[in-house]
Chain A
């Protein structure tokens, strides 16, 4: 039994890997105490090495580690010699362990001598970092997780914690049940989190600063400012209140698109509740005014002195497992290491001496968006991307791809091939979660060990080792000579305490002297933890002591700058997570049970907006922005505000024809944090005509490439297509030019891959149809081909059997009702088809009939919407608990409880 930490969100839950291969919750870990969310509960399903990168590659060909690392070292060295240290860059990840991060940062900032190391945390947390730095003088989350349970009022801003941080949300709901905690959710969308709240304020996108400015003015006017505390511990409150504007609820409500009564209720609740905490996440951070949003929130807590005491304070929750660890070692381009600052000569001097750094960079480097702009402009000529997928995840994804394809040298370390690794000159196979050894820090400053419990496949190695090897090969033998992650951690811990003496809150000097055995045995522990500390770190700043020169926090004026410009488009595009996916699905996409909740990317919009545009439910809708366009299936919901459309961030070119939503997202950045705005891109919507529908099931899915869907019928000369193919050949990165025959989505299922197809052009006929089917099915030579065709109806069904086992099957129809239900056909993929069942195989009725069960609500116990609905009606179940007793749904991770409640509301009959 190995205790380790979950690799997903920033809650940082403990999990145990059992000898039988199961991954279970760690009942002893302080973050989760036995809870797990749907994603964590499905971790064992993702331990599949079949798609892994297992060998270094140079130019797409297998290579030795020695050659691959030697080439990276040589390319970086030569590029630096010719163009200077700022011509190279690392782009790393919140999924790197602290040790990985530490080595990368040391190499770039201390030895190469450039600030050009940034991380995908830039897309996630940079505004919180900047806001914390502005307010507190250091990147500090003042509170602890127990605050979620001890608060009387929890305000969640731009946080769908029910889906994105489910375990913390469960802790909150348990506290609500136990002690009546009030929950207010500020979110443009009526999310699952909003469903579980006492009050939901569906403020319009980008109006958060106006709301918190209004709150600050209200608190001030209501006499809720703690004059004594603010006088002793803050500076700039007067200016902040002045910038917040007058106390005018009507005006605030108008700016936020809210009912003034709701605003007043919220303000009153906040004002009269001492134990109030404000939890915020990507709805705050991922904004071109994200830093101001953070400070507008923090201002309200500083003004009331509600910070650092039980159940109160601003609380940033991070999206990644080790965004916090990355921040601690200086993984962001504008930080040094160990919370040291570029603009502090003493810090720079100390770091130079500690590292014996030959060339400590004197200035911050480029932040993610500008870093890739510099790649595109040829200013950065050698780039190493580690554990992240910017070809999908960065805004303006197509520009990023162009930049990558133009960059003279790109190295990519990852566990799996991605849309980014396509552009790599050198691909390095990285050890993955479960194989790596190191530490992560969660959202409450708690450091946990990630421990290996399985061997890395093939030649995969940890990232810290790769960076150290390159450092040594670049000539810095002594500085990168660690033998183990424990040694790296000790150096990191020692640095945090080096000449600190209370100057920096981040201090884990107490961990600097442990031996390897102590590192192995390390229990989850919260910082600060300076040398000699006898207990772990707790809440901070209740009595001031901010790490600023005068010890006071700064109230930063955040004048409201207006709502996001729609730039001539009718809508704003908001992007975010769905419940059971994580990032670009490299790991969650391996778990079929996690696909069942939301099998394909949907564009969620208000039914009235859809009606006005002629967009039918479940039809395809085109989202066109100034950056690009994507085509998604329309999901019409009243939970969405009018004029706003939501799309998930997870899908990539490996999972859907339309690829990443990043194609359409603008790259406007917050001027302070450099974090891009991914929740307010001006967008136009239009319906997309569809001509046919299809289901394709294949045991081997990834081999199916885009060309299959760019199928060109020989009999139809299509000038548009011909021209488009020519154009796309000229610019290989611009996939949008291809007028593919199908919109498609790939859904991993237990025994293979399901592709949902929607025809964007007329279905091929005659021999063309046969060719089309062959391209999609790609039957092996000795396969049996079983076919049913009704050409007049545009119906074609084909099954491919190899040795009696269903290898692939295809269903095409002009009308979606002409397709079988997925629930009926998916289970037979990869199974041996008895002779007696062969003739009925393509009927697609399955053994269970043709009824769809609706989306999978409970991922842990595989309970569908219809099963819950049916149980509720037939057994008159009224509560989530009763559903849990009967169906087990909602009794494991609890992520689905808000959805179960919604179903219960739908079916609840009037009291008799």
Chain B
């Protein structure tokens, strides 16, 4: 008898990052033996948790702590990891991917998860050594090296989530650190003005210097960066400059391959690109006009793409509200959803200035649509659930700002009776 095993389909992943590898995990869960898988990764590592780069910079974790998939994982799952070789071309007609070192891999299904690249402001001097981004472990290593024994000056451009985490890390590495932020308040996309100001005060307490509404004019230096000059003429000495002014989807490879791209790679609700054989997930995509920079939607995209690629279900990606936490030890904050509100919303506020706590909940029609928690984000998960579920909170509205009701909250009359009787 002839037993002809069906040929395994070939799946190639470009981008050995969190979104892509999570999608592989999801596919393996659904159809463990269906695909021959190859992964192109520009970085010479297995997969690591990019979100945890800040604790590594701050010295709270080591790189080994944040590796999520080492080479053994790829091997044991029969995945060919082409690490340290970035993909440089996609031939959609031939259905092959070519790597920078000449590796060529054919595919039946291609998954692009190239992520994003940091925005580099085209300011004079931005190519000077010592001007870095905060994107990968290499950036972290160069920052730690620049910090050396400490005492130097660092300037972080960008007072958003990433910039502040970087600044905190540099501070912890002993550098005199200044954050320059173009807007009037830090993390304005995640915090309301009150909590933003509380955050600034907390960071200043830790020794950080912040300059708001700061317009960077030039990086000064000859062999390497030595100072940052602002538009108003201020000159700040700088042994290290970290640019953390945002990310943009890494869509060049896809664009070159002729896939439909706007700011990111355009995908439909099934995470499919304009080429039916090619899917994309993660920060490189643009879905219904939206870009992504947080981890939660990546996990959702991974599930949808896995369903589709494994052909187990025709699920669709539905954007959900995302929550943000700042990973600065000792600073507890969370925000999610629409925490600004409008004429149709109502606001519940809790404030305890002495304890450094500020909570703002935004409601519409007795449903929670957004929240900012500063100083005490211990109930973040509960609020986030209420936002995601669009739960009717009319019944618990008066106590909503105090978090979830305690377990078994009602008093026990029998216990009370025994207490009296004893």
Any B CB within 8 A of the CB of A222? no
Q: CB-CB < 8 A to B402: which residues of A?
A: 788, 839-840, 842-843, 845
For A887, give its contact among B348, B411, B420 (CB under 8 Å): B420
Cα-based distance from A328 to B351 in the complex (angstroms): 65
Q: Report the minimum CB–CB distance from B145 to chain A (whole Å).
A: 39
Any B CB within 8 A of the CB of A714? no
Stretch from A227-235, A255-263, A790-798 contacting the other chain: A790-798
Cα-based distance from A867 to B357 in the complex (angstroms): 39
Any A CB within 8 A of the CB of B397? yes
With both beta carbons as reference points, the residue of chain B lying nearest to A853 in the complex is identified as: B416
Stretch from A196-204, A621-629, A858-866 contacting the other chain: A858-866
Q: Report the minimum CB–CB distance from B396 to chain A (whole Å).
A: 11
B window 386-422: CB within 8 A of A: 397-399, 401-403, 405-406, 409-411, 413-414, 416-417, 420-421
Cα-based distance from A659 to B378 in the complex (angstroms): 47
CB of A863 within 8 A of CB of B414, answer: no
CB of B421 within 8 A of CB of A839, answer: no
Cα-based distance from A874 to B416 in the complex (angstroms): 13
Main secondary structure of the interface of A (DSSP, over half): mixed
Cα-based distance from A99 to B347 in the complex (angstroms): 67
With both beta carbons as reference points, the residue of chain B lying nearest to A861 in the complex is identified as: B420
Q: Report the minimum CB–CB distance from B155 to chain A (whole Å).
A: 36
Any A CB within 8 A of the CB of B350? yes
CB of A790 within 8 A of CB of B420, answer: no
Q: Report the minimum CB–CB distance from B392 to chain A (whole Å).
A: 15
Known contacts: A788-B401, A793-B397, A887-B421. The answer to whether A870 contacts B414 by CB under 8 A is yes
For B410, give its contact among A788, A851, A861 (CB under 8 Å): A851
CB of A788 within 8 A of CB of B349, answer: yes
CB of B406 within 8 A of CB of A862, answer: no
CB of A835 within 8 A of CB of B355, answer: yes
Any B CB within 8 A of the CB of A822? no
With both beta carbons as reference points, the residue of chain B lying nearest to A801 in the complex is identified as: B354
Q: CB-CB < 8 A to A838: which residues of B?
A: 352, 355
Cα-based distance from A310 to B347 in the complex (angstroms): 75
Cα-based distance from A851 to B416 in the complex (angstroms): 12
Q: CB-CB < 8 A to B378: which residues of A?
A: 839
Known contacts: A839-B376, A839-B403. The answer to whether A784 contacts B347 by CB under 8 A is no
CB of B416 within 8 A of CB of A786, answer: no
Q: Report the minimum CB–CB distance from A594 to chain B (whole Å).
A: 18
Any B CB within 8 A of the CB of A888? yes
Any B CB within 8 A of the CB of A611? no
Any B CB within 8 A of the CB of A785? yes
With both beta carbons as reference points, the residue of chain B lying nearest to A819 in the complex is identified as: B398
Q: CB-CB < 8 A to A801: which residues of B?
A: 354
Any A CB within 8 A of the CB of B346? yes
Any B CB within 8 A of the CB of A239? no
For A870, give its contact among B354, B398, B405, B413 (CB under 8 Å): B413
Any B CB within 8 A of the CB of A500? no
CB of A839 within 8 A of CB of B352, answer: yes
Cα-based distance from A871 to B417 in the complex (angstroms): 7
CB of B403 within 8 A of CB of A840, answer: yes
Any A CB within 8 A of the CB of B290? no
A window 863-896: CB within 8 A of B: 863-864, 866-867, 870-871, 874, 886-888
CB of B351 within 8 A of CB of A795, answer: no
The interface centre, meaning the residue of B397, B398, B403 with most chain A CB atoms within 10 A of its CB, is: B398
* Band of interface residues on A: 35 or more
Cα-based distance from A319 to B364 in the complex (angstroms): 60
For B414, give its contact among A787, A788, A839, A874 (CB under 8 Å): A874
Cα-based distance from A477 to B169 in the complex (angstroms): 90
The interface centre, meaning the residue of A790, A792, A813, A848 with most chain B CB atoms within 10 A of its CB, is: A790
Any A CB within 8 A of the CB of B353? yes
Q: Report the minimum CB–CB distance from A3 to chain B (whole Å).
A: 31
Q: CB-CB < 8 A to B349: which residues of A?
A: 787-790
Any B CB within 8 A of the CB of A818? yes
Any B CB within 8 A of the CB of A523? no
CB of A789 within 8 A of CB of B410, answer: no
For B348, give its contact among A790, A850, A866, A870 (CB under 8 Å): A790
Q: Report the minimum CB–CB distance from A746 to chain B (whole Å).
A: 25
CB of A849 within 8 A of CB of B401, answer: no
Cβ contacts A194-232/B at 8 Å (1 or 0 each): 000000000000000000000000000000000000000
Q: CB-CB < 8 A to B355: which residues of A?
A: 784, 786, 835, 838-839
CB of A818 within 8 A of CB of B351, answer: no
Cα-based distance from A750 to B413 in the complex (angstroms): 22
Q: Report the minimum CB–CB distance from B395 to chain A (whole Å).
A: 10
Cα-based distance from A105 to B143 in the complex (angstroms): 96
The interface centre, meaning the residue of B350, B352, B409 with most chain A CB atoms within 10 A of its CB, is: B352
Cα-based distance from A50 to B397 in the complex (angstroms): 41
For B417, give its contact among A789, A850, A851, A867 (CB under 8 Å): A867
CB of B348 within 8 A of CB of A789, answer: yes
Q: CB-CB < 8 A to B420: which residues of A?
A: 861-863, 867, 887-888
CB of B398 within 8 A of CB of A790, answer: yes
With both beta carbons as reference points, the residue of chain B lying nearest to A793 in the complex is identified as: B397
Cα-based distance from A793 to B363 in the complex (angstroms): 12
Cα-based distance from A864 to B354 in the complex (angstroms): 38
Cα-based distance from A817 to B354 in the complex (angstroms): 29
With both beta carbons as reference points, the residue of chain A lying nearest to B349 in the complex is identified as: A789
Cβ contacts B332-368/A at 8 Å (1 or 0 each): 0000000000000011111111110100000000000
Cα-based distance from A786 to B347 in the complex (angstroms): 17
Cα-based distance from A805 to B347 in the complex (angstroms): 29
Q: CB-CB < 8 A to A848: which residues of B?
A: 411, 416
Q: CB-CB < 8 A to A842: which residues of B?
A: 350, 402
With both beta carbons as reference points, the residue of chain B lying nearest to A824 in the complex is identified as: B411
Known contacts: A843-B399, A870-B413. The answer to whether A786 contacts B406 by CB under 8 A is no
Cα-based distance from A785 to B414 in the complex (angstroms): 37
Q: CB-CB < 8 A to B411: which residues of A?
A: 848-851, 853
Cα-based distance from A547 to B413 in the complex (angstroms): 61
5 more CB-based (< 8 A) A-B contacts, given A786-B355, A801-B354, A886-B417: A790-B349, A792-B347, A850-B410, A887-B421, A888-B420
Q: Which 3 pairs between the two chains have the least Cβ-Cβ distance?
A: A843-B402, A784-B354, A792-B346
23 contacts between A and B (CB under 8 A): A786-B354, A786-B355, A787-B352, A788-B350, A788-B401, A789-B350, A790-B348, A790-B397, A790-B398, A791-B347, A795-B398, A813-B398, A817-B398, A835-B355, A838-B352, A840-B403, A845-B409, A848-B411, A849-B409, A850-B409, A853-B413, A864-B416, A887-B420
